[in-house]
């Protein structure tokens, strides 16, 4: 027995009948993002491992245990640097922003990307090793504005609703400025330290590496402990400076003005080091435990981390939407059958080939039976392909340079000239 191959664990094939749903999402995203002034950027699907380590933080779960690194003796040997498949899009976009001096070309770069991302996750429903994101990044010198935070959130909701997510649930929080964040970290470490032994093994580790991540844990006991601490902290009012609080209030009032409902979720911290101020997550119904379909936030400091001009104070705000989960939640996976204008039926494949070529050159979708076969089997094939017309080139038709057009929906058949046939098909 010859070994059969399967798609790698945590990946899947998107078969032709599912492509229309993907096209809907991608085409609508491109159209809608244009109305918000965003332009597409395409970066490589692998980058230097160091880029991800620097941007996501050594302590992030992604770098710590999910990075899919390429064997150095394949790609890395080129210049002895290790590479990894991209686990997310922000690091690459910021790398490109700096490398291509986009800050000198425009005051605010509004960029989006669509494509696959790779993480060494434990596969389960809605959690894959190759998944797909639509991401948006708005980066510019001196561009930090609560209006921009709100714009990115508003457009994420706009996209999700367009994709058929009926009740997207928006959760927001503010981590405050970098200084506020450090402040909160000290407080958290102090409080969580009292319960350290009760935390799960991962969280014991997180406690040391990055205490914010404990708030992200899915373990019930950790959730309860962290939840109580966070409620206590926020119960005394937001643990933020006056300026950060004001910024967050402005974001909220913009969201309200745009008619969005949201919930302030103090335990929402997002798993990456680079976030400050506004962070948010959007949840869809019916997905079980992997129910986040989009997430994002503000990451001004990352531009300097990756080598942006020290003299400039950059602003940066972004979101990433998970297409695979969106399609699971929206039910947009119904198989859409093939449809064609015409199927050419002939006992003479040479004649059929010439005719099919003529039709396609005229913009008409057409196919033929390549191995001939009986009239009946070719007619079956026309049916299967959902052809609007079966075009029959029999002996009589060929003799008279005519073709019989059979309308497959009402069964009516008429013999017409070749040019007339093309005209009829092209007209409808
Ligand atoms: P989660 O908490 O579900 O692990 P995350 O915080 O790792 O998500 P982000 O890195 O913010 O996710 O990515 C944004 C979105 O991309 C997620 O909300 C989700 O829809 C999607 N996504 C992330 N990881 C995966 C994955 N392994 N498989 C499928 N979709 C994913
Ligand atoms: Mg994750």
Q: Is residue 196 part of a domain?
A: no
* Distance between CA atoms of residues 334 and 329, nearest Å: 12
**Residue 336 pLDDT > 80:** no
Distance 29 CA to ligand 2 centre (A): 23
Question: Does the beta carbon of 368 lie inside 6 Å of ligand 1?
Answer: no
Question: Does the beta carbon of 188 lie inside 6 Å of ligand 1?
Answer: no
Query: In the predicted model, what is the mean pLDDT of residues 402-412?
Result: 96
Residue nearest to atom 19 of ligand 1 (CA): 322
**Residue 74 pLDDT > 60:** no
127 within 8 A of 11, measured Cβ to Cβ: no
**Residue 231 pLDDT > 90:** no
Question: Does the beta carbon of 131 lie inside 6 Å of ligand 1?
Answer: yes
Judge if 135 and 257 occupy the same domain.
yes
Question: Does the beta carbon of 117 lie inside 6 Å of ligand 1?
Answer: no
Judge if 246 and 313 occupy the same domain.
yes
Judge if 270 and 403 occupy the same domain.
no
Give the pLDDT band of residue 334 (cuts 50, 70, 90). Answer: low
Q: Is residue 206 part of a domain?
A: no
Question: Does the beta carbon of 171 lie inside 6 Å of ligand 1?
Answer: no
Judge if 316 and 373 occupy the same domain.
no
Question: Does the beta carbon of 294 lie inside 6 Å of ligand 1?
Answer: yes
Tally of domains in the chain? 2
Judge if 263 and 400 occupy the same domain.
no
Judge if 294 and 359 occupy the same domain.
no
Range of the domain at 346: 340-427
**Cα dihedral value 69, 71, 75, 79, nearest 10:** 90
Return the closest-CA partner of residue 153 out of 134, 171, 165.
Answer: 171
Query: In the predicted model, what is the mean pLDDT of residues 342-352?
Result: 95
**Residue 75 pLDDT > 60:** no
Judge if 65 and 164 occupy the same domain.
yes
Judge if 326 and 344 occupy the same domain.
no
Does residue 144 or residue 32 have the better pLDDT? 32
Which one of 322, 328, 330 would you pick to mutate in the ligand 1 pocket, going by the greatest count of ligand atoms within 8 A of its CB? 322
378 within 8 A of 336, measured Cβ to Cβ: no
**Residue 379 pLDDT > 70:** yes
Query: In the predicted model, what is the mean pLDDT of residues 17-38?
Result: 95
Q: What token pair was written down for 143? A: 């561009």
**Residue 159 pLDDT > 90:** yes
Does residue 216 or residue 46 have the better pLDDT? 46
Structure confidence at residue 227 (pLDDT): 86
Judge if 319 and 351 occupy the same domain.
no
Give the pLDDT band of residue 292 (cuts 50, 70, 90). Answer: very high
Q: Is residue 221 part of a domain?
A: no
Give the pLDDT band of residue 58 (cuts 50, 70, 90). Answer: confident
Distance 196 CA to ligand 1 centre (A): 27
């Amino acid at each position: 027995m010859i070994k059969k191959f399967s798609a790698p664990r945590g990946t899947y094939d998107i078969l032709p009948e599912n492509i229309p749903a993907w096209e809907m999402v991608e085409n609508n995203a491109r159209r809608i993002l244009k109305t918000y002034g965003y332009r597409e950027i395409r970066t490589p699907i692998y980058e230097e491992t160091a880029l991800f380590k620097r941007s996501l933080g050594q302590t992030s779960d992604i770098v710590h245990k999910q990075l899919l690194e390429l064997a150095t003796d394949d790609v890395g040997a080129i210049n002895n640097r290790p590479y990894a498949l991209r686990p997310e899009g922000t690091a690459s976009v910021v790398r490109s922003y700096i490398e291509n001096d986009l800050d000198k070309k425009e005051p605010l770069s509004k960029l989006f990307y669509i494509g696959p991302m790779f993480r060494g996750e434990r596969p389960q429903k809605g959690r894959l090793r190759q998944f797909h994101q639509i991401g948006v990044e708005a980066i510019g010198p001196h561009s930090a504005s609560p209006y921009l935070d709100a714009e990115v959130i508003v457009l994420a909701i706009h996209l999700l609703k367009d994709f058929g997510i009926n009740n997207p649930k928006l959760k927001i929080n503010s981590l405050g400025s970098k200084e506020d964040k450090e402040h909160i970290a000290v407080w958290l470490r102090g409080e969580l330290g009292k319960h350290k032994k009760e935390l799960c093994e991962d969280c014991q580790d997180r406690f040391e590496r990055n205490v914010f991540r404990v708030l992200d844990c899915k373990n019930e006991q950790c959730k309860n402990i962290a939840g109580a601490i966070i409620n206590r902290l926020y119960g005394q009012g937001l643990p933020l400076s006056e300026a950060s609080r004001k910024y967050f209030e402005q974001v909220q009032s913009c969201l309200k003005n745009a008619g969005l409902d949201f919930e302030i979720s103090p335990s929402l911290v997002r798993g990456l080091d680079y976030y400050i101020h506004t962070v948010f997550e959007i949840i869809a119904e019916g997905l079980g435990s992997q129910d986040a379909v989009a997430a994002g936030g503000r990451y001004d400091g990352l531009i300097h981390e990756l080598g942006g001009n020290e003299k400039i104070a950059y602003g940066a705000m972004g979101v990433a939407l998970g297409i695979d989960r969106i399609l699971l939640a929206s039910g947009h996976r119904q198989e859409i059958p093939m449809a064609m204008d015409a199927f050419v039926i002939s006992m003479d494949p040479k004649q059929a080939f010439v005719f099919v070529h003529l039709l396609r050159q005229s913009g008409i979708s057409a196919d033929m039976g390549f191995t001939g076969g009986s009239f009946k089997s070719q007619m079956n094939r026309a049916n299967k392909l959902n052809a609007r017309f079966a075009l029959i080139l029999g002996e009589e038709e060929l003799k008279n340079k005519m073709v019989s057009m059979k309308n497959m929906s009402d069964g009516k058949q008429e013999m017409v000239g070749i040019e007339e046939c093309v005209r009829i098909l092209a007209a409808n």
